[in-house]
Structure 1
């Protein structure tokens, strides 16, 4: 006969005292703060004590919990059945699609990744559209090739290599979980994707910048005003692409001429105050009007569930289309950041100031002890660069 009764259970829950109350033969009523109660069975498996949750009190009455506990005890004793282990296996069975597999992999990897949002962005942008709804075990090497081909035809070799590496890791995870017998991406190499990557050293000098911005300005139907101003800001602020495209108006104090870039969007994971030169403020004022009340400096242009702001692909895709017409020599958005560093040097900026203008993490002893943000020095340097570019942008 159990030690609990319906009356005693009601009294326990009414008291709201958390604890574990035995009914006998390993069955317990577990009460959490606030009076929430559930049934659990304590048992031993391989010399280890385990606790298995049967169900919430209310869904399981006392008599029902005793019956369920009795059935479980019989299976444990007769068949060596481990209910905790089986519940874990049932959770793994919920991985039915590649989307499910990615979520499981990402949850595990997030503990080790410095920037967990990066692989999610890569997956959602390039892998999910073709493979997300497919069962992992149904994916073939031809499906992997389709993902790679879709990226390479849009002339994004680095992205193709990143997507291939991500798929290899993802399907290896599926093999670990016994969802796949083999990795459909394993036979592919970078030669099948974007090719062996070489470090870029592309810099646009003032003469090339002048001619390129003139071409961009003359083609608003192919390169919108928002794209044009985004390139101007990247060239004069030196920030990373998504640090700018995901910026919110609440981060700016245009009267003081400052941008407070939050740590969660900064690659160095530190908040940084960025000075804004007069030309930059005038471009931001125009963008504020163009944003039509949006919280973002660069709002999304189409209905999209992926991004509430301009897509990461928008600028490079627009530049690629014009470069394909042989209107100017091809360059990427990141080349503007490299050009900004070159412009800093051309106006006589000291290297340690230039590195802080780029929001680079300073390594070694200097990075540990020199915590000064050099705001005034950065402001002076960026004013000089903005003055050069303002004549080009107009």
Structure 2
């Protein structure tokens, strides 16, 4: 390497850091100070080995002072002169360190790189199982040492909470160890290939239920005329997911324009959407606003800090309405109101793609890739038609059957 006079000073470095503008300044002998637009200041050494240009990051400034960076660069150049590719050497050292990660470290890396960009509902659900199950039971083990038997033992312990809990824990474990495989920390995924039915007897698969005809009419008449009932009506008309309803914030609504904008981070699909609200929903929202405590949320929790109602609270509201209507609870869940709405749109003759977009479903196969139509106008018309149909059903006249779907 050709020697160059040192031309940087600590005064210059501090000035560039304070200015916050991207720069790349050479200190000679391949040592370069770089400052990105995001404010990350690092030292980079550029060199040649085997006739090819390489570069390696030495460290961040100001953790690495100018003096320390020059010293590190000097030592690296000595190794380069002996034919060592210091960048490749650093990568191998980093991987060797990752290979010694504990499951706790693996989980932290998974949360930062993978879970952080997942849908809000997935983040919340997986975080609970990572925190309460995977880290307490496997966290101290080296990620490379976890065996299939270790995962099976954890799943067996979780089965006492129900097969649903075991299923979600299994999914979270698969995701974490798939991340380990993607990082080349281990060659396999110990959570793959495990049959949960061998650990605990599977519960009978629940059939989805859509209220129909006179049953739906009885339910509508039994809904109380209060905040609990207004929440059920809002859910039944819009067909949003239960979590999207429970965590609805007033900032998402524009009552003047009559719209509800659900952000991407609150949807299961990771795709935000706008619902044009029929007049019935706008009336409900005004009544809710006038009869609930001041809060950022449409349905605030009764106690504690300002937060939305838990899913369990909303489910209890639904069950009380079912009891009042004389409808057996069975395995009826809040999601079945969404299913009722989707089935209702079909019974009214709403086109398939419009009905699917109305509940923020992706279209199957190639249709999702090529059909980019939001169907906003058609969705708004379908929602008005559905809200009017519910009004008719609630009065007990002209009851039109709504199909039941598996």
TM-score above 0.5? yes
How far apart, CA to CA, are the structure 2 residues paired with 1:20 and 1:119?
A: 44
Relative to structure 1, the CA distance from residue 298 to residue 47 in structure 2 (aligned partners, 3 Å threshold; closer, same or farther) is farther
Partner of 2:277: 275
How far apart, CA to CA, are the structure 2 residues paired with 1:166 and 1:53?
A: 34
How far apart, CA to CA, are the structure 2 residues paired with 1:197 and 1:230?
A: 30
Task: Map 1:97-136 onto structure 2 (within 5 A).
Answer: 97-98=103-104, 100-105=105-110, 109=114, 116-132=119-135, 134-135=139-140
Relative to structure 1, the CA distance from residue 247 to residue 118 in structure 2 (aligned partners, 3 Å threshold; closer, same or farther) is closer
Deviation string 1:343-380 (CA, Å, 9 cap, x unpaired) is: 3455x444456455444455649945684622563254
How far apart, CA to CA, are the structure 2 residues paired with 1:214 and 1:33?
A: 60
Q: Greater CA deviation, 184-193 or 291-300?
A: 184-193
TM-score by length of 1: 0.70
DSSP 3-state at the match of 2:276:
strand
User: Contact 1:277/1:386 (CA < 8 Å) preserved in 2?
Assistant: no
Partner of 2:400: none
DSSP 3-state at the match of 2:142:
helix
How far apart, CA to CA, are the structure 2 residues paired with 1:167 and 1:2?
A: 53
Relative to structure 1, the CA distance from residue 135 to residue 268 in structure 2 (aligned partners, 3 Å threshold; closer, same or farther) is closer
User: Contact 1:151/1:160 (CA < 8 Å) preserved in 2?
Assistant: yes
Does residue 248 (structure 1) correspond to residue 254 (structure 2)? The answer is: no
How far apart, CA to CA, are the structure 1 residues paired with 2:380 and 2:322?
A: 38
Does residue 169 (structure 1) correspond to residue 171 (structure 2)? The answer is: no
Relative to structure 1, the CA distance from residue 3 to residue 276 in structure 2 (aligned partners, 3 Å threshold; closer, same or farther) is same
Q: State the Cα RMSD in Å.
A: 4.7
Partner of 2:31: 27
How far apart, CA to CA, are the structure 1 residues paired with 2:192 and 2:320?
A: 33
Task: Map 1:64-213 onto structure 2 (within 5 A).
Answer: 64-74=68-78, 77=82, 82=88, 84-85=90-91, 88-89=94-95, 92=98, 96-98=102-104, 100-105=105-110, 109=114, 116-132=119-135, 134-135=139-140, 137=142, 140-141=150-151, 142-152=153-163, 157=164, 160-175=166-181, 177=183, 183-186=189-192, 188-191=194-197, 192=199, 195=202, 200-209=207-216
Q: Greater CA deviation, 366-375 or 120-129?
A: 366-375
How far apart, CA to CA, are the structure 2 residues paired with 1:33 and 1:327?
A: 61
User: Contact 1:126/1:147 (CA < 8 Å) preserved in 2?
Assistant: no
Q: Greater CA deviation, 160-169 or 136-145?
A: 136-145
Deviation string 1:104-132 (CA, Å, 9 cap, x unpaired) is: 33565579x8x544542331233422223
User: Contact 2:357/2:379 (CA < 8 Å) preserved in 1?
Assistant: no
How far apart, CA to CA, are the structure 2 residues paired with 1:109 and 1:35?
A: 24
Relative to structure 1, the CA distance from residue 10 to residue 272 in structure 2 (aligned partners, 3 Å threshold; closer, same or farther) is closer
User: Contact 1:19/1:31 (CA < 8 Å) preserved in 2?
Assistant: yes
How far apart, CA to CA, are the structure 1 residues paired with 2:93 and 2:307?
A: 38
How far apart, CA to CA, are the structure 1 residues paired with 2:300 and 2:313?
A: 12
Partner of 2:403: none
DSSP 3-state at the match of 1:373:
helix
How far apart, CA to CA, are the structure 2 residues paired with 1:36 and 1:369?
A: 41
DSSP 3-state at the match of 2:377:
coil
Q: What is the count of residue pairs matched by the alignment?
A: 371
Q: 1:291 Cα deviation (Å)?
A: 4.1
DSSP 3-state at the match of 2:336:
helix
TM-score by length of 2: 0.68
How far apart, CA to CA, are the structure 1 residues paired with 2:41 and 2:261?
A: 47
Q: 1:44 Cα deviation (Å)?
A: 4.6
Partner of 2:399: none
Out of 36, 47, 50, the position equivalent to 2:54 is: 50
Gaps of 5+ in 1: 219-224
Partner of 2:404: none
Partner of 1:310: 309
Out of 338, 352, 374, the position equivalent to 2:378 is: 374
